[in-house]
Structures are given as C-alpha cells and as structure tokens.
Amino acid sequence: MRTFQFSDAKSHKFWNIEVTGTSFTVTYGKIGTNGQSQSKTFATPEKAQSEADKLVREKTGKGYVETTPQTASSDAESLEKAIRANPHDVAAISAYADYLMEQNDPRGEFMQVQIALENDSLSKDERKKLQTREKALLKKHEKEWVGDWADHFNAPTNTEGRGQINHTGGRKYEFKRGFLTTVHFGELTVNAARAIVKAPQTRFVHELFIGDHRYEDEYDAGSDIPEGGTRDNDFPGDHILLRWPQLQHVRRFQYGWESDEVYGDFCHFQCHLADEHIYDFVKQMPNLEELLVFAHFQNANKLVALPMPNLRILQLYHGWSYPLEKLAKNPSLTKLTHLWCHPHALNAADAEPYIRLPQLRAICRSRHLSFLTHLRLRLTDFGDEGVREIIDSGIMKRLHELDLRHGGVTDEGARLLAGCPDLKNLQFLDLSRNGLTQAGKDVLQATKLPIALEHQHAEIGDQDSYGDRPRYLFEGDYE
C-alpha cells in the first residue's frame, strides 16, 4: 500500500491506494479519522497497476506528499530512521557517526567532534583542538551539508558571528551532534519556504523558528499558494511551509520574536504578528516538546485542545485568548512542566482580563497537569484570592517557579505565601507590579527566597483605574 498526505491552511488529509491483483482500493479522508474506501476492478493486473499509477500522478500533481514507510535497505537508512524518530538518542547518533567513518564520509568525523565537545570535563587545550577541527570541517563541507535553500534567506545585518539573526531579517541554521537540526527564519519569504520544502538536507531538522514574514507584493504564484493570493495578516510563505513533510519531526517550534524578559519590569515585545496558521502548523507536529508563541492570537481554543503528549513547555505571549480551562482538560498534557502566559495588554473596549480566577483554578486542580513545576500567569485580577487558591490546591508542593507579575496581590497575599510551608520548594517568586506595600515586601524577603518585588503599584503611582479596571492591566507590554 502506498500512503500520501496533503496539508495546507484549510485541510489536513490522507489518501492511500493498495493494488491487489486485478483491483485496487483507495482510502481517503481527514487525518485522524478512518476515512472511506472505494474499490475498482480491471481486466488484468497490468491495467489495475496502470490506473493506480495514473491516480498517484494526479494526487502528487495536486500537492500530495508520499508518506509510504520505506523498508530500510541499508544500515544507514535504519540509523537515520531511528534518529528522526528520536533526535535525542545519543547512542543511535554515535553509531551512525561510526558507520559514516567506516564509509570515509567526513560527516562522521564532524558528528564525533560535536559529540565530544559536549563533554564538560575536556581540558582547555582539548576543547580548542576540537573546535579548530570543527571549524575546518564546516569550512570545507558546510555548503554541501546545508544545501542551496540557505541562499534564499536574507543576509544578516548588524550581527556578529556566523548564522546570527536580528529583528531586521537575517538567518540562522545550526548543527548539533553533526546534524542540521535548527532552521531560524528571521523573515520568512516565498522563495525560502519553497526551497526548504524541497531540500533533502533538512530531513533531520527538529527545531523551527519563524520570527516574522517579509511583505512581498509580487511573487510567483503556484499551487502551493491559495488561488487569488492571501488576505491581510496571512502570508504566502506560511502556506508553502505548511506542506513541508519535515513538520512531523519538529520538536521545538517558535512563532514570533521572543520578548525581552527583564524581571521586575515590562516585557518589551517585538510583536505585530497575527496567528493565522499557528494551529495549522502545530497540528502537524505530533512529537512537539516546546511550543513558544509570540503573536496576536485571537482564538486559542483549538490549539490548546490538540493532542500534544510530549509537550513540556508551552509559552503563550501577547494574545487575546487564554482558554486555560480547556487546556487543563486536555488529557495528553501529562508531561507539561512549564506554562508561561503573558497576555496582550487590555484595550479600552476590553471587558475583563484574559486570565481570571476560574482559569487559575482549572490549572491548579487539573488531574492531567501533574508535572507542572513552572507557572507564569500575568496581567490577572485574581489577586489574594488567587494566592489562596494556589495554596489550597496543593500545587505549591511541586512548583519551582511562580510568576504573578502585573497582578493584584496585596500584603494579605504576601502573608499567605510567607506562611505556606511549601513556599520553600520555590526557586523563584515574581510579584513585581502588584499591590504590595513595604510591609508585604518585608514579609516575603524574610523568607530568603529569590524574589522579584519591584515597581509595586503604590510605588509608581499606579493605583488609579480606567473605569472599573486597574491601570496596570493596560500597561502589560509595549507595542
């Protein structure tokens, strides 16, 4: 049986065909369903095969990608398959490096050098020698190991060192343990997306970053872009990249430029990015371990309900939608350890904060989030009542980080925290930009824990409000 998949911003479906003697059976439908089947019978086996091949050509011409499992024909293919399935398997990577060395392939030595550089016990001279060899191998073979797709990226500007990026464009790719594992789009373009989708060198990539998109008034139309072009805040490069078969192997996905995290102060966002296709990308990443979103997402309901059984870190910044009750009910999130949420600041027309007490309660009492150790919920209004919920729920027994910056916690909440026996488990507490006085700060500082308490509302004259909403909810970030 031959199997195929098609993915774009609107659909994610499969199409399979199996030839048996004088007939074939086609099965098709949405991925995740059983689909439906149709069979046809012909006069001879040759005619059945010929008609099946014709259908395959039609499907691939429409953008379907073959996903038929390949029987490993060599040790190399077996090892590559194992590494794509688990990119953290050092034993398989080392075995592959040994195999390549036996074949006199210089990539084997490069892999061994990078693996050796992970040893913290190396002497200074040993490390320098390995780094020199690493640079020499890259200088000679980098173009071959990366491929031509990198030529379509914007050239780096105002940066230092190979592969660095900045907010004006540029590119970054990275080798780890001898593999090209990381692709970092400063500004995604049509040509770059098309090139990387076709590049065989990217078959081990499992870290993908899309910072922003290049505004392109003119580009070559094709079947990989919606007929008639794209809408505002919808970029053609995303539509193309959504067809990349390698998405299924991605373990770390970041969409949007990260914020400038400064404890005790504002997050300085570089975010004007819409969320048109975050869900479309993530639904094709069944092995995702880290999802970092810095975008104006309007509705995260479908995103947080996706099956993500390997997800450890979820960062949702700068959005207007935080359906944490639905997230808390997702039975696949049993490995989640980090939940970091920093909503977009309120606008004048917004009725209430995006994270409130019911969302906090859902997270604290979720039976699925039993490994959560880092909780960051900002721009909230639950104040001391939320602190009481955190303590009463028992989640403090396992939290290492609690970050409630931009909130309404007062001295009462500070006393509750200081009196909680489980506070000692925390490695960091952030109550910056809350409603503490010096008395509340003194109570918490007496615990000797690492704490951020800067810029309390009274200290910065921020006790007034817009209508019935505290002013701090409108000052959570910069645009």
Q: What is the pLDDT of residue 170?
A: 46
Show the tokens assigned to 449: 């824990």
- Mean pLDDT (the chain) is 86
In tens, the pLDDT along 181-221 reads 999 888 888 888 888 988 899 999 999 999 888 776 666 77
Rounded distance between C-alpha atoms, residue 240 and residue 14, angstroms: 18
Instruction: State whether the Cα torsion 423-407-468-327 is positive or negative.
Output: negative
Q: What Cα–Cα distance (Å) separates residue 309 from each residue in 314, 335, 338, 345, 388? A: 12, 7, 14, 31, 30
In tens, the pLDDT along 138-180 reads 999 999 999 888 887 654 333 333 333 344 444 578 999 999 9
Query: Is residue 431 within 8 Å of residue 444, measured between CB atoms?
Result: yes
Q: What is the pLDDT of residue 275?
A: 78
Q: What is the pLDDT of residue 463?
A: 56
Of the ranges 6-10, 88-92, 263-267, 411-415, which is most confident?
411-415
> For the purposes of burial, counting CB atoms within 10 Å of the CB of 67, is it exposed (0-12), middle (13-18) or buried (19 or more)?
middle
pLDDT higher at 438 or 352? 438
Percent of the chain with pLDDT over 90: 55
**Residues 440-462, mean pLDDT to the nearest whole number:** 89
Q: What is 311-323 written as a DSSP string?
A: --EEEEES-S---
3-state secondary structure of 331: coil
In tens, the pLDDT along 368-424 reads 999 999 999 999 999 999 999 999 999 999 999 999 999 999 999 999 999 999 999
**Residues 8-14, mean pLDDT to the nearest whole number:** 78
CB under 8 Å to 454, separation ≥6 — which residues? 263, 264, 265, 432, 433
Rounded distance between C-alpha atoms, residue 105 and residue 260, angstroms: 42
Query: Using 50, 70 and 90 to split pLDDT, how confident is the model at 75?
Result: confident
Query: Using 50, 70 and 90 to split pLDDT, how confident is the model at 9?
Result: low
* Cα Rg of the chain (Å, integer): 26
Rounded distance between C-alpha atoms, residue 161 and residue 270, angstroms: 23
Q: What is the pLDDT of residue 72?
A: 45
Q: Which of 28-37, 334-343, 447-456 has the lowest mean pLDDT?
A: 28-37
In tens, the pLDDT along 271-317 reads 678 777 899 999 999 999 999 999 988 899 999 999 999 999 999 99
Rounded distance between C-alpha atoms, residue 400 and residue 389, angstroms: 17
Work out the number of other CB atoms within 10 angstroms of the CB of residue 314.
21
Buried b (16+ CB within 10 A) or exposed e, 28-44: beeeeeeeeeeeeebee
Q: What is the pLDDT of residue 230?
A: 60
Would the pLDDT of 241 be above 80?
yes
Rounded distance between C-alpha atoms, residue 216 and residue 192, angstroms: 12
Q: What is the pLDDT of residue 461?
A: 65
**Residues 82-88, mean pLDDT to the nearest whole number:** 90
Rounded distance between C-alpha atoms, residue 215 and residue 218, angstroms: 9
Closest CA to 294 of 336, 261, 248: 261
Domains with residue ranges and CATH for the chain: 2-66 (2.20.140.10), 75-124 (no CATH), 145-474 (3.80.10.10)
Closest CA to 405 of 426, 444, 386, 432: 432
**Residues 87-101, mean pLDDT to the nearest whole number:** 93
Percent of the chain with pLDDT over 70: 87
> For the purposes of burial, counting CB atoms within 10 Å of the CB of 46, is it exposed (0-12), middle (13-18) or buried (19 or more)?
exposed
- Sort strands 2-7 and 12-20 into parallel, antiparallel or unpaired: antiparallel
pLDDT higher at 229 or 65? 65
Q: What is the pLDDT of residue 43?
A: 87
Enumerate the β-bridge partners of residue 386: none
Q: What is the pLDDT of residue 165?
A: 38
Q: What is the pLDDT of residue 348?
A: 66
DSSP-H helix ranges across 103-241: 106-116, 124-146, 190-198, 236-241
DSSP state of 169: E
Rounded distance between C-alpha atoms, residue 22 and residue 24, angstroms: 7
**Residues 85-105, mean pLDDT to the nearest whole number:** 92
Query: Using 50, 70 and 90 to split pLDDT, how confident is the model at 263?
Result: low
Has this prediction a pTM greater than 0.95? no
In tens, the pLDDT along 110-141 reads 999 999 999 999 999 999 999 999 999 999 99
Rounded distance between C-alpha atoms, residue 79 and residue 93, angstroms: 8
Closest CA to 270 of 340, 216, 188, 211: 211
Q: What is the pLDDT of residue 464?
A: 58
